[in-house]
Structure 1
Amino acid sequence: MHIAIISPGPFSVPPVKGSSVEHDIDEVTKMMDPEHQVTIYTRKCATYPKSSVEENRRFVRYRYNGPKPYLQKIMNHLRRHKPDVIMVENRPQYVLALKRRFPKIPVFVNMHSHVYASPAMISPQKMRRVVRIADGFITNSEYLRRYFMTKCKIPAAKIQAVHLGVDVSPYQQAKLHYTVKKLRKQLDLLPEHRVLFYAGRLIRAKGVHVLLRAFRKVSEQDPLARLVIVGGTGYGSNRLNPYVRELKKLAKPLGDKVKFVKFVPSAQMPLYYQIGDVVATPSVWQEAFCRVNLEAMASGKPVITTPRGGIGEVVTHQGSGFLIPPKAWKKELPSIWEGLWKHPQIKNEMGKHALSRAKQFSWYATAQGYLRVFEQSVQKRNAGRTQPNELLRAG
């Protein structure tokens, strides 16, 4: 089967600046069985050649100067190299042009969140048309699947949930890397310090302000507690915007107990996770999946998170971590923190459970989930083509 995957365009595949959708495209296509030919359409950048081939993956890169010219270049290439199936990543509006140009090729939309299906990104009228003409939808969680079934009236049979994966190897190997000690030293972290770790964008939806307010209570009862916050305002961006200023203001009374680290590329993140003893993801919005939780668990770290969106499909409460509503963090985080250090065997067992849980989310399983959806569609199309010939023979 020849599969064409169209990345959104603003970032490259593989990602240079750590963008999550592009990271997912790269990881899942590596795991697609070698008998399948995969063409990945993505942004041209200085890091990679215009076109390249890696085993059964072909990268075709175009300059991104807006969605319309970017998609037009892709469609011109698709016209010459017609695939068996097309998957659009996180940009449902691309379906409208693709189905006009290629009405007989199955086109799927892989939605990573609700954002690009919202009225701010696509009109309700156009989204209804996308729902009608697309051959199917994939989401990264059952939560997001149910959301689109309700919000966009997508029929249950037309939308499938396939969880994202993680490769635990680099996170486990990082535990023994000499760089971890170097990173801790750079952050003035002593061996006896107990580190709560955050990784992600510094945006209000991620709830970093919730974490800082709750950590203030933690630091009052535990002088050895430290908070390390890794991330920028966006992928590769360390802009000092009003929200980051608010975070710095919240952190100021805590002095050197809070350490801010600017954006770190995803390839280096396995090392940074080793700095922490426990990972916090205080999301206040309805997260579709929250890949940071899975990466933390792959590092064998207990996770303190919220029960928002699809998070509970990954993190098990009092198993691989804790699911605490955002409004309860200020009250509950200090007692959870105290319990983990008062009974270190509990923290260790949770870390083991987290690693075991992470191993259940492999990129190979994600790839197989996508392929099942594609194969069913291609078989259905082929059956429709052969049926008239069979009827003629029968006559």
Structure 2
Amino acid sequence: MMIYKPIEKGSECSMRSPRLVVVTPGSFVIPSFRSSSVERVIEHTIPPVADPYRTRIYGIRGEGLSARGRLKRIPCIRFPRGKKYIPSVIKAIKRWPAQLADVHNRPFAAYRIKKAFPRMPVILTLHSTTFMRPPYMIPGKESKLLAPVDKIVVNSEYVKQAVISRAPQAAEKITINYPGVQIDRFRQRWTAEGEAERAARLHEAGWQNRRILLYVGRLVPGKGVHRLIEALPRITVFCPDVLLLVVGSAFYGKRRSTAYTRQLQAQAESVKDHVRFIPYTPHDQLPGWYQLADLVVVPSLRDEAFGLVNLEAMAAAVPVVAARTGGIPEVVQDGITGLLVSPERMEEELAEAIIRLLQEPLTRRRMGLAGLREASSRFLWEHSSQRWAEIIGQVARK
């Protein structure tokens, strides 16, 4: 078996570009429009700035993809999913020794890889706090698992503080890199052409003269869709033409029902003229749904690490009504690009915020355009890529 050895200074190999491996979580294939936001971040952030390195992306097999493929110019090596995934990644690094590893959203995987290659710098890129708490991590073990990694990259100040609260010794290792959005994929409403196209699409669907609320995301209890449906009867009293479009399913890439999705369907019966459920939609088709919206609603009950849906709404120049939780206030500016509501008073405040904006078209336009400016100036994928390149460079130089 080949033993991993770091490249020595002055050797023939050291004169070539350093080797970098990017390790995906192992839950979804890459590339894929049916994967989670983690894979989307990797797809958008890494290829534009990977040239200084000989980069490989490690992921899992699935969806008819071969064991070897490419993400733009970067080789994608795919292994069996499940318990064999990280051991397979470790074996691959032994066969193709790297100088740097970027491990996404799996603290235990980053720990195992660092233990296998103690002289190789390992970055842990955290996209959420999910795998920092039970059942994925035993309370009290956070510091031990994070101690070996060389850098921790998070996607919000909220996640940064959550990590520090669990592992204070890791504070100096943490850097924030906000995700981004691709503005040119979205048709902004506030142009003559955009409004005409939107009106035609609404007419084609039979939704002309309706004011559209849009929810985009997974249908799981923590996302709070049931609270949005609970608020609808009050909203319809003041806005009888409102129509809520619920775009998504319980699972990424699947349309299988669950007890919760069946609960939502039953709950919506009392307001059935005001709700439409749209099955899971691949990510590349979502801009068309944002184009139809008057408001995008993000009624999360649990702490969201960031929430790409907020950025996508802003890219479409649509104001957001969202819960004041997790990293959302770092994206949505209350009163400027949307309105934030308290999760503890969700039903009451959610209805009030939605009614207000539905009744104030000029405010919606002002907030929508402010959101577009904010996304364009701070939250492009180009910004994320450049920050990632700087982080990788700093770690590599050390």
**TM-score w.r.t. structure 2 length?**
0.88
Q: Tell me the secondary structure at the aligned position of residue 93 of structure 1.
A: helix
Deviation at 1:330, TM superposition (A): 2.8
> CA contact under 8 A between 2:188 and 2:315: conserved in structure 1?
no
Partner of 2:374: 357
Does residue 259 of structure 1 match 2:276? yes
Q: Distance in 1 between matches of 2:223 and 2:205?
A: 23
Task: List aligned pairs for 1:90-101, cutoff 5 A.
Answer: 90-101=105-116
Partner of 1:20: 37
Deviation at 1:365, TM superposition (A): 1.5
Computed over aligned residues only, the root mean square deviation of the Cα atoms, in angstroms, reads 2.2
> CA contact under 8 A between 2:111 and 2:146: conserved in structure 1?
no
Which amino acid in structure 1 is aligned with residue 382 of structure 2? Y
Partner of 1:106: 121
> CA contact under 8 A between 2:314 and 2:368: conserved in structure 1?
yes
Q: Tell me the secondary structure at the aligned position of residue 58 of structure 1.
A: strand
Task: List aligned pairs for 1:62-81, cutoff 5 A.
Answer: 62-64=79-81, 66=82, 68-81=83-96
Deviation at 1:81, TM superposition (A): 1.9
Deviation at 1:183, TM superposition (A): 6.1
Find the partner of 1:215 among 223, 232, 238. 232
Find the partner of 1:89 among 69, 80, 104. 104
Q: Distance in 1 between matches of 2:313 and 2:227?
A: 19
Partner of 1:391: none
Task: List aligned pairs for 1:1-395, cutoff 5 A.
Answer: 1-54=18-71, 56-64=73-81, 66=82, 68-124=83-139, 126-172=141-187, 184=202, 187-190=205-208, 192-359=209-376, 360-380=378-398
| CA gap 1:186/1:117 in 2 versus in 1, 3 angstroms | farther
Q: Distance in 2 between matches of 1:10 and 1:341?
A: 39
> CA contact under 8 A between 2:188 and 2:194: conserved in structure 1?
yes
> CA contact under 8 A between 1:31 and 1:363: conserved in structure 2?
no
Deviations 1:54-84 (A, max 9, x none): 55422111221x1x31112222221122222
| CA gap 1:182/1:259 in 2 versus in 1, 3 angstroms | farther
Deviations 1:3-50 (A, max 9, x none): 211011120111242311111111111332533332110112244332
| CA gap 1:357/1:173 in 2 versus in 1, 3 angstroms | closer
Structure 1 unaligned residues grouped into runs of 5+: 381-395
Which amino acid in structure 2 is aligned with residue 130 of structure 1? L
Deviations 1:274-320 (A, max 9, x none): 12111000011111101111111111100000110110111000111
Which amino acid in structure 1 is aligned with residue 331 of structure 2? V
Deviation at 1:186, TM superposition (A): 6.8
Q: Distance in 2 between matches of 1:299 and 1:156?
A: 36
Partner of 1:393: none
Partner of 1:383: none
Q: Distance in 1 between matches of 2:149 and 2:329?
A: 29
Structure 2 unaligned residues grouped into runs of 5+: 1-17
> CA contact under 8 A between 2:188 and 2:291: conserved in structure 1?
no
Q: Tell me the secondary structure at the aligned position of residue 317 of structure 1.
A: coil
Q: Distance in 2 between matches of 1:333 and 1:74?
A: 45
Q: Distance in 2 between matches of 1:196 and 1:7?
A: 34
Q: Distance in 1 between matches of 2:366 and 2:64?
A: 42
Which amino acid in structure 2 is aligned with residue 169 of structure 1? D
Q: Distance in 1 between matches of 2:199 and 2:46?
A: 34
> CA contact under 8 A between 1:179 and 1:271: conserved in structure 2?
no
Q: Distance in 2 between matches of 1:82 and 1:326?
A: 48
> CA contact under 8 A between 2:187 and 2:291: conserved in structure 1?
no
> CA contact under 8 A between 2:33 and 2:284: conserved in structure 1?
no
How many percent of aligned residue pairs carry the same amino acid? 29
> CA contact under 8 A between 2:31 and 2:71: conserved in structure 1?
no
356-365 vs 41-50, which deviates more? 41-50
201-210 vs 165-174, which deviates more? 165-174
Which amino acid in structure 2 is aligned with residue 23 of structure 1? R
| CA gap 1:39/1:179 in 2 versus in 1, 3 angstroms | farther
Q: Distance in 2 between matches of 1:253 and 1:187?
A: 22
Q: Tell me the secondary structure at the aligned position of residue 79 of structure 1.
A: helix
Q: Distance in 1 between matches of 2:216 and 2:39?
A: 18
Deviation at 1:114, TM superposition (A): 0.9
135-144 vs 319-328, which deviates more? 319-328
Q: Tell me the secondary structure at the aligned position of residue 27 of structure 2.
A: coil
Q: Distance in 1 between matches of 2:140 and 2:65?
A: 38
**TM-score w.r.t. structure 1 length?**
0.89
| CA gap 1:72/1:341 in 2 versus in 1, 3 angstroms | closer
